[in-house]
Each structure stands twice: as structure tokens, then as C-alpha cells.
Structure 1
Amino acid sequence: MNVNNVVAQDVYRVWEQIHSNTLKPAKLKHRKVGEFREVPLPRSVREAIERYEAKHGTTQDGYLLRGPGGYFTEGMERRLKRLFTDLPPDKGVGMYGFRHYFASHALGKGIPITDVAEWMGHKSIEETYRTYRHLMPGSITKAARTLDAGLWEAA
């Protein structure tokens, strides 16, 4: 997480990812060098970032959670959890847990799957659909009700 990537009050720009083998910055999957994706930045998350930065500072290049030997690794999750003090202290919550929470919550609240797929960095919405389709129950019922209401308005 880099404070320099907060490009608006509600937007975080993702330029890189930490490569799982080298634990060093690498280009984003499914993107060319220099390409990025922008993701929503909830106010509560932005404020947590600001609190953490005020208390602990950043590295010279703006990273919040960079260990003495390099970039963020799975072992630093406890530090990340300190950013979000309101989260329950579940032992099973890890980086992928945060990703799944984000996608699940967004889809469950009706955010279009195309947007969620882009924010997650998935190559296609098929990947997002296969993983999260079960979280969109009732979409057929919702569509039927919406169409029905439209038909009554047209009559």
C-alpha cells in the first residue's frame, strides 16, 4: 500500500503487485508495463491509512507496510490488520480473505460484476463469475421484478 497511489478521496490507483516468488514489485497481471487499475477507496479505509501513516510514517517512497528486508509479505498481515481496528480478530483472515471480502461485499450490494472484475484485476469476468456467482442469488428474481414494474409503467 503506497500513500502516493491515493489519487482522489475515494480512488486508489494500483500500479504494481508484489510478485509471489521474488517478493518484489512487478507489473500487474494482465496489464502492460505502466498500465494501472483504479479501485474504490472507502472513506473508512482512507482514514485508516491516514491514521497509520500519522502514527508509523511511510518509507521514503511512500509505502506503509514495507518490512526491513523488503516489501509486504503474508507474515505482515498483523500489521495490516492494525489498520482496520474495527475488524473482528478472526484468525483465518489473510490477504486473500480481504480480497474475497471486498469482492463478496461489492457483488452482494449490487455493484456490477464487470466493475468488480476490473477492480480485482481478473483477466475476464468469467473468472469473477465462476468464483462469486453464488453471491448473486436472486438476480433472476430481481430482474423479473424490474421488468414487471417496467411493463406495468408502460401499460
Structure 2
Amino acid sequence: MDFEPITRPLTDAEARAEAERIITQSFQPAAPPVRHFPTSFRDDTEVPAYGDTPPVHQDDKRIVPAWAAGIAVASIGVGAGSVGLGCCAWLVLQGLASVTLNSVLMVTLPLAGLAMVATAIGGAISKARAAVTKNVFEGPVTHHTEIHNNSTTRGAFFARTRNEIR
């Protein structure tokens, strides 16, 4: 369709006709896409003369190993759990966003008390252990510092030397 440019304003009838043409042209159904490859399943059964066609059994050729299905289910569970942890962290951080001195003291006071108790128990245990240890040595002590030159070396690349000290 060749159109000549309009240099004058349209009349109401011409504008209405042009708008109707543009609307009908834009709402025309598109042509179905052209398939460039054959489908994987062809049903050659006869179509009934009237009514719906009966369903045809199509074999399921997907192979999903059990471990893959298990990993998929586990990943969904981990994702849901991480969303729950994220919500919990968000709630905690929202509460910490409005921190005052009194709230900090009230939160840290039990922790400081637990730390003091743990330190006291650790100190008591270390003092109890230190008091029990007592070394008593009885008998003569001899110290030999004689070296006899009785060394042997064996091997070419990986040499091994044995020195005897008595």
C-alpha cells in the first residue's frame, strides 16, 4: 500500500477512517511461527468426527537420579531455612538500630556475669592443679658426656650416618 503524504489537516471523517484502519491493522492476528525442526512426538491416530480427541499416552523419557532429586529437595529446604535466618537477623538488627545506654547495659550485664563466673571457675581449677604437683627425686644422678667415635655412614645419594654416644 502506497501512501501519499498529507499536507493538509484531515477532516473528522478522514481522521476517523485513518484511526480505524490503524486499529484494525494493529489488532490483526499474527501469522503462526514457522517451525524449522520436527516435533519429537507425532500422533497419527484418526481424529474423531465430532467431540474432543481422547488423551494419548506419552512415555516419560526424563531420567532424574535419586541423588539429584534429593539435592533439589535439600536445596529448597536450605533456601527456606536461610530465609528464616535472614528474617530473624533482620528483626534483631531492627531492634539494635534503636539502641540506648540502658538497653546495652541490660543486654551485656548477664554476659558480663557469665564471664566473671567462668573466670572464677578457671582460676580455682588452675590453683587446685598447681597445689597438687610436688616432684621428689631420690637417688644418685649421673651425667655421661663421653663420645666414642664409632660412626658409620651408608648410602650414596641418601646417606645415613649413625653416631654412638655412651
Assess same fold via TM > 0.5. Answer: no
State the TM-score, normalizing by the size of structure 1.
0.21
Which protein shows a greater Rg?
2
State the TM-score, normalizing by the size of structure 2.
0.20
Instruction: With a CA cutoff of 8 Å and minimum separation of 6, indicate the structure with the bigger relative contact order.
Output: 1
